[in-house]
Structure 1
Amino acid sequence: MIDVSKIAIVHDDLMRRGGAEQVALALHKTFPDAPIYTLCYQPELTYPEFKLADIRTSVFQKMVKTEKWMKLLFYPFGFWAMRLLKVRGYDKVILSSTYASKYANIEEGTKIINYCHNPFRLVWYPESYPEVKEASFIKKLLYNIVISRLRSIDYKYSRKSDLTIVNSKVVQKRIEEIYGLTNAPVVNPPVNLENFIPIEKGAKSDNYLVVSRFEYYKRVDLVIDTFNALNLPLVIIGNGTLKAELMARANKNIIFKHNLSKEELLEEYARAKALIFPQEEDFGITPLEANASGTPVIAYGRGGVTETMIPLNQQEMNRNATAVFFDEQNTKSLTEAIMHFINNEKHFEEEVLVLNASKFSIDSFSNSIISWVNDV
């Protein structure tokens, strides 16, 4: 083991409940005495377990109270707030990074370990944002100027770490292409397996489930359009900038829920017929949470799910399947996958699903992280 009093954690922001924040929690559990430095923190917007941690925020904390304004004002105000956030007196600093933590003002001579969730999406994949893709000529020109500047900064700071760890092979390939960083070790994000308990047999509902933030690239709109047409019961749990638009789009067979207690969320996972996962993610924790609850997954077959899920083979109905994949992000492809799942639901076995999730435990994550931190 290492002297955790000499370690600090720097996470982008604590303004939401997402996969990156779950990793930050796992890092906190691995190094419980390490303070967490971050751009800004609103306890009611993220996981309650952070209330037990030593959270140290930048001056940006005084400027923004919501995720929306944090994003709007990040450049240049949030960037400079991170540059003013001094991280001093540590032997090693662990970054939990997508877009902000890498800019923290870390004392020279400190060893830096960057756990990279994904390259900065807005900077390197701007067309995945409708604000950029559908912008007018003048707006797009302004976006491109800002993105070009941020791209140069992001490239520079992403190469300053002594070690970069990635959450999946997908991200490993991306950082090699974007930053020129080769052979980055992969440490998959963990699932808190103690939280998820399969429901007793026969107690499953007819509801399908989506658990997601309501952002464009999450493609919740695709699921709504498909279930509007199929008229199957769907529960959508989440929040985000597209909430009003998505709720207006849905028919009466679709129910929205948010601000659920931990127990209520776990019950929704366990009672669901299947989790629908329509987006391409670098890793994706929710499919594993569904498996841990004894629930199979219907997923877009790109990105991290190809590393964590075992698809039901169309020709040979394998008994170790955990998911059904669809090939294209459109209603036709998703509908075909749902029909395939309905016709072959009997092939999904609870024990197999739970065993698949068990490979991604917090203990496994912590042991791998400690080993890599020790090596730096």
Structure 2
Amino acid sequence: MKVAIVHDELVRRGGAEQVVLDMHKAYPEADIFTLCYNPEKTYEEFRKAKIFTSWFQYIGKSEKLIKLLYFPFAILAMRSFNLKGYDIVLISTTHCGKFIRTDKDASVVTYCHTPFRLAWRPFSYSIVRSSNLMIRNIFLFASRILRKLDLIAAKASDFYLTNSKEVKARIEQSYNPDQPVRIINPAAKLDNFYISLEDKDYYLVVSRLEDYKMVDLVVRTFNQMPDKKLIVVGTGSKEQELKALAGDNISFRKGQSTAQLARLYANCKALIFPQHEDYGITPLEAAASGRPVIAFGFGGVRETMIPYNGDSRACTAVFFDEQSSNSLLAAIEKSESLEFDPVFIRNHAKSFSAPNFIAKLKSFVSKVYLQKMSLKLNDIVSEAIDVSGRPYQLELANTYARKKVA
């Protein structure tokens, strides 16, 4: 079984890129095809993989340029790939991965992290919500075009996998696939994290610094609590704005190594997770470190976390119900009154391990491949019957009969 792996682009460190790494662990001989690749900006493990990039590699290897040149250049660049000779094409995508061309005999399995936001949920972008009428209409016009193109590309997938119930419903509503959408939860890199017995004196945010991540909510809240320390890890377009907003009790870090990030997780009081995320890897990374999560209680955390419900020794998170400082403050105060069990929290994270993800993925892909082979075998048998036909069978019978008479 020859497998190809496709991913939108490899220019960042995020949950989707971790999924691709686990795909590659499942199929280490698989070629990886992507729009562009920047080894300095994504996970080091990709350096060991065989990666093929499109011509977009020569005009842009950053998130900003991909967004700027997405239509039409990123789409056209992904369409320039024509994958031949692969039995399985395993696509990881939120936007352009599904535009790749494949052999008609290949089975296309798409792990969709979410349908393309600009096409299907344009108002989830702050620039669309806050722009004047003319700019907003331009975005909405582009959104309608992208939605049509995205839907056409989506129909090329034979099977859909995804990360959570929320995204499953979104895929069904957007793409209406022929086959049921299967959920395989992404894994956290448990081996990278550990439980620490050191004293905890700070809270932690690990996030891209973008508007929808709601890091500003956390910063504003901690500005009201100058006696509590907050460390924010990440980069993004809101970095300077957030730094200007932050009080002296808030510090920012970026470019953290695996070991540095693991230490920050292990020694925090809790991870603050203020956004509505489709899935969210960072809460699982905190859990792998034995640390609780203070989370906005909607989206993927409902599937990965066990909220406090009277027994702090058997929970992994404290949820808050509104994205407001008052609600977050109440959740922080509640968490400080509880005694969590680090061993229970880490053991819960183990159910989201990479081996579990890989086993489920390989099982699904194997079933797809065997089903494809079975159909091919049936076609070959049917063709053989059609070619030989009844006259040939009659001739054999007549020959046998003549020999018996003689």
| TM superposition score normalised by structure 2 | 0.88
Aligned match of 2:332: 338
**In the alignment, which residue of structure 2 is the partner of 1:359?**
351
Q: Which residue of 2 aligns with 1:291?
A: 287
Corresponding residue of 2:365: 373
Does residue 60 (structure 1) correspond to residue 56 (structure 2)? The answer is yes
- Larger mean Cα displacement after TM superposition, 172-181 or 53-62: 172-181
Distance across 1 between alignment mates of 2:297 and 2:152: 33
Instruction: Please give the secondary structure, in 2, of the residue aligned with 1:273.
Output: coil
Name the amino acid aligned to 1:189.
Answer: P
Residue 318 of structure 1, CA deviation: 4.7
Report the equivalent of 1:228: 223
Q: 1:204 to 1:156 in 2, by over 3 A?
A: farther
Aligned twin of 1:319 = 313
Which amino acid is 2:220 matched to? D
1:14 paired with 2:10, answer: yes
Would you identify which runs of 4 or more consecutive aligned residues in structure 1 move more than 6 Å?
none
| Partner Cα separation in structure 1 for residue 193 and residue 84 of structure 2 | 38
Tell me the CA shift for residue 107 of structure 1.
Answer: 2.0
- What whole-Å deviation, never above 9, does each CA across 1:242-286 have from its counterpart, x for those lacking one? 111111111111110001111111100101110000111111111
SS in 2 for 1:359: helix
8 Å CA contact 1:172–1:183 kept in 2: the answer is: no
- The answer for the alignment partner of 1:198 in structure 2 is 195
SS in 1 for 2:108: strand
Query: Cα distance, 1:183 vs. partner?
Result: 3.1
CA distance in structure 2 between the aligned counterparts of 1:195 and 1:337, rounded to whole angstroms: 28
**Distance in 1 between the 2:28 and 2:236 partners?**
30
Residue 209 of structure 1 aligns to a residue in which SS? Answer: strand
Distance 1:38 1:102 in 2: 11
Q: 1:127: Cα distance to partner?
A: 1.3
What's the counterpart of residue 131 of structure 1? 127
1:66 and 1:367 map into 2 onto residues whose CA distance is: 33
In structure 2, the residue matched to 1:211 is 206
Amino acid in structure 2 at the alignment position of 1:228: N
The 2-side partners of 1:331 and 1:122 are apart by 29
Residues 221-300 of structure 1 aligned to structure 2 (within 5 Å): 221-231=216-226, 232-300=228-296
Q: Contact 1:112/1:162 (CA < 8 Å) preserved in 2?
A: yes
1:114-129 to 2 correspondences below 5 Å: 114-129=110-125
Instruction: Kindly provide the CA deviation profile for residues 103-162 of structure 1, in whole angstroms up to 9, marking residues without a partner as x.
Output: 012222211000111111122121121111111222111111110000111122222211
Aligned residues: 366
Percent identity between matched residues is 46
8 Å CA contact retained: 2:204, 2:230: yes
Q: Residue 31 of structure 2 contacts residue 51 of structure 2 at CA under 8 Å; is this kept in 1?
A: yes
> Does the CA-based 8 Å contact 1:192-1:362 persist in structure 2?
yes
Say which is worse superposed, 296-305 or 183-192, in terms of deviation.
183-192
TM-score by structure 1 length?
0.95
Secondary structure of 1:43's match? coil
| 1:319 shift after superposition | 2.6
Deviations 1:188-247 (A, max 9, x none): 001121111111x2x032110000011111111111111111122000001111111111
Report which of the two structures shows the higher radius of gyration computed on alpha carbons. Answer: 2
CA contact (8 A) 2:312 2:341 kept: no
Equivalent AA in structure 2 for residue 353 of structure 1: I
- CA–CA distance in structure 2, aligned partners of residues 183 and 333 of structure 1: 38
What root-mean-square deviation, in Å, do the aligned CA atoms of Structure 1 and Structure 2 show? Answer: 1.1
The alignment partner of 2:183 has SS state of coil
Unmatched segments (≥5 aa) in structure 1: none
Q: Distance in 2 between matches of 1:142 and 1:177?
A: 24
